[in-house]
Amino acid sequence: MQNLPVLFVVFLKFLIPTFLLKFPFYASWSNYFLDVVDGDILRSLGMGEYPYQMIDKLADFYSYFFMMFLGLRFRIKNTVVILFIYRAVGQILFFLTRNELVFFYFQNFLEPLIMTYTLLLFKLKSEKKAYKTYKNYLKLIWGIIFAYKIWNEWTLHFANVDLSKKFLGFTGGE
């Protein structure tokens, strides 16, 4: 295993969420992008599946705390807290059981909500306008979030489909 690149990627997984409070839009989208590619990077650098899963899930949980603290600033704070608690139950159950299937039952709706809301804030430059737009398009926003996350969590944790292999033809573990 190539230690310096591995440590750098793991460092980024814990650093980027800290920027959520200062740069919500950039940090939420950067955090998501890194979470999509980190497994392929770390596995290609020689990290085993078990250590990767433990680091990834711990970093995810860490990022959810920052998402929740950020969300407390917004008018959607009640929804953010409920979604944080919901996913935290899944995270805790995973750490207790090591069973990824719990993520299908406790989907991560918090992250796409934060990404969507910070996009609205970024584009509209006002929390008042962002909230109004969010409320006006509530059904559409939540329809997309639910459809995406249920598909995503089912694919990753129930069907165990390697999306990198399926869409890109390779995976970091090869």
Own/partner pairs, 89-93, CB within 8 angstroms, 24+ separation: 91/57, 91/60, 91/61, 91/64
Q: Which residue has the higher pLDDT, 152 or 134?
A: 134
Flag the least confident range among 41-55, 114-128, 151-165: 151-165
Contact yes or no for 80/113 (Cβ under 8 A): yes
Distances (CA, A) of 138 to 2, 18, 106, 131: 45, 28, 21, 10
pTM confidence score: 0.90
SS (H, E, C) 95-118: HHHCCCCHHHHCCCCHHHHHHHHH
Taking the C-alpha atoms of residue 28 and residue 31, their distance in angstroms, rounded to an integer, is 5
Residues 6+ apart with CB under 8 A from 91: 57, 60, 61, 64, 106
| Residue whose token pair is 């929804």 | 79
| Confidence band of 17 (pLDDT split at 50, 70, 90) | very high
Which residue, 5, 130, 10, is CA-closest to 74?
A: 130
- Per DSSP, which regions of 29-170 are E strands? none
Own/partner pairs, 86-94, CB within 8 angstroms, 24+ separation: 86/110, 88/61, 88/64, 91/57, 91/60, 91/61, 91/64, 94/57
Distances (CA, A) of 48 to 23, 112, 174: 32, 28, 11
Share of the chain above pLDDT 90, in %: 78
- Average pLDDT score over residue span 102-108: 92
